[in-house]
Amino acid sequence: MNKAFFVDKDGTLVDNSGYPEIIPSDGLLENDVVEGLKYLQKKEYKIILISNQPWIAKGRMSIEEVEQVFQSLILKLSSFGVKIEDYYYCPHQTSDNCNCKKPKPQLIKDAANKHNINLNNSFMIGDMEDDILTGKNAGIKTILVLTGNGRKYKENNNADYTIKNINEVINII
């Protein structure tokens, strides 16, 4: 079986400093993520993006626009030698009460089934409480990064690990 790092997109991989007025796009936090992601690949983790994209349900972005953002981000990361194995996102808003919106673990379970992933050897990393809860709900280890909104949760979180950014994953794995 494989092992994976399930990675949140907005605030973890890309800049979301203008949120919620400005929808996070593909502005890669290059200096905070590239070396850590490359290290994870060397350790044979599959990197899979897990994200809430409520902009679709709210009519602020189309599915096609969200897909373009993910594809652009994947292309940027590949230019640094980082392979994104797959990505999953929830297009709903909270009031839709769907099964796929973080902190529900459905997206992780779907990815684990598709990619033959052993969740006991996997992690969820993100910058918000919902990312940590998603990992906990899926039964995997969790990492809070202090990029994006992570600084808000620094003192009051129940993540297994808290690090400055993805590059610091080298100190954990």
**Which amino acids are annotated catalytic?**
8, 10
Interatomic CA distance for residues 49 and 26, integer angstroms: 13
Interatomic CA distance for residues 92 and 166, integer angstroms: 27
Dihedral over Cα of 36, 77, 144, 32: its sign? positive
Phi, psi (deg, nearest 5) at residue 60 = -90, -20
Following DSSP, what letter does each residue of 17-67 receive, concatenated?
Answer: TTTTTS---S-B-HHHHHHHHHHHHHTTEEEEEEEE-TTTTTTSS-HHHHH
Residues facing 76 on adjacent strands:
none
